């Protein structure tokens, strides 16, 4: 019986070590950047979505969502500097150079990232983390909403490729612009909400820049033509 107990204990320790090792490896892969490394991180983290709990599950979901965003083409080594050092630029203009190489399935990967973050922020495990971890997940969700919106305005529209915006009625920009506008609102509300959000002040540089873009888009999106004129004016 003692031998059996020892074997069970050893197996348990190996399993834990394996989980911690996979999480650490995923962190290192994401820190290096690149789509292929993000895909490797996704492979490591996917089994852990259903096999972890508590604080460890929060970290797995945080990394998994980040890996999905990076795999979509939003590499943190490019997008974070673009957002942090906008200067007087419109946020969309500041991000132009960071969305020129999005994956063909970027829409589904961003949807996966958002769904994962919505799930974890609505789970009982959220309360297991400290305030910093909780607010960090809400910030990541707000960022994911924003990036999915600019995916439409910059990449789907054709603006990021350096061409004029595709203003075809029934084209991809036309089909996705309603959801993109909703994501700008989702981003702002998630970033500024205090209890179920990141709790950022409206005067925060990123938040105020987001609000400015949202207001400009709302004003321009009265028709497809005016939206196209606004986006073309960013070039």
Among the listed residues 229, 141, 158, the one whose alpha carbon sits nearest the alpha carbon of residue 192: 141
pLDDT band at 87 (very low <50, low <70, confident <90, very high): low
pLDDT tens across 172-227, in order?
999 999 999 999 999 999 999 999 999 999 999 899 999 999 999 999 999 999 99
Give the helix ranges, DSSP H, for 33-171: 35-45, 54-72, 76-84, 91-95, 106-121, 131-150
Among the listed residues 69, 73, 70, 50, the one whose alpha carbon sits nearest the alpha carbon of residue 60: 50
pLDDT at position 97, please? 83
pTM: 0.90
Average pLDDT over residues 98-103: 87
């Amino acid at each position: 019986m003692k031998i059996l107990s020892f074997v069970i204990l050893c197996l348990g320790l190996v399993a834990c070590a394996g989980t911690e090792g996979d999480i650490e490896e995923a962190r290192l892969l994401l820190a290096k950047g690149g789509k292929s490394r993000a895909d490797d991180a996704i492979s490591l983290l996917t089994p852990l979505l259903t096999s972890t709990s508590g604080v460890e599950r929060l970290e797995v979901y945080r990394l998994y969502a980040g890996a999905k965003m990076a795999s979509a083409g939003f590499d943190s080594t490019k997008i974070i500097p673009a957002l942090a050092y906008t200067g007087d630029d419109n946020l969309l203009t500041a991000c132009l150079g960071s969305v020129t190489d999005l994956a063909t399935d970027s829409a589904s990967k961003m949807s996966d990232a958002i769904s994962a973050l919505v799930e974890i922020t609505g789970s009982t495990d959220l309360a297991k983390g400290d305030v910093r971890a909780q607010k960090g997940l809400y910030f990541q969700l707000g960022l994911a909403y924003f990036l999915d919106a600019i995916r439409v305005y910059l990449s789907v529209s054709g603006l990021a490729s350096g061409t004029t915006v595709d203003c075809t009625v029934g084209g991809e920009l036309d089909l996705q612009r309603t959801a993109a506008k909703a994501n700008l609102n989702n981003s702002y509300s998630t970033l500024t909400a205090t209890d179920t959000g990141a709790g950022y002040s409206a005067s925060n540089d990123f938040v105020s820049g987001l609000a400015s873009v949202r207001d400009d888009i709302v004003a321009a999106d009265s028709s497809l033509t005016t939206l196209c004129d606004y986006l073309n004016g960013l070039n």
